[in-house]
Amino acid sequence: MSERRVIVQKEVVRNGVGFGSALAIAISYTAHKSVLWAIIHGFFSWFYVVYFLLTRD
């Protein structure tokens, strides 16, 4: 039971990081129209998404 739980948790974390990066890239490119900023914000993923939501007008 414990082994299955660890596998499921790893899968959730891996998918969450991928989705967070994709979301950050999409938001960044839409807001700034810059591939460089999109790559940088994709690296920070969920941190940038939360920052964007807190600082938008």
Report how far residue 51's alpha carbon sits from residue 29's, in angstroms, rounded to the nearest whole number.
15
Q: What is the pLDDT of residue 8?
A: 62
Higher pLDDT, 13 or 55: 55
Supply the DSSP string of 13-35, one letter for each residue: HHHHHHHHHHHHHHHHHHHH--H
CA 34 from centroid of its chain's CA atoms? 17
Is residue 13's pLDDT more than 90?
A: no
Q: Any idea where the domains of the chain sit in the sequence?
A: 2-55
Give the model confidence (pLDDT) of 21-56 as tens digits: 999 999 999 999 999 999 999 999 999 999 999 998
**54, 29 in Cβ contact below 8 A?**
no
Is residue 1's pLDDT more than 70?
A: no
Q: What is the pLDDT of residue 52?
A: 96
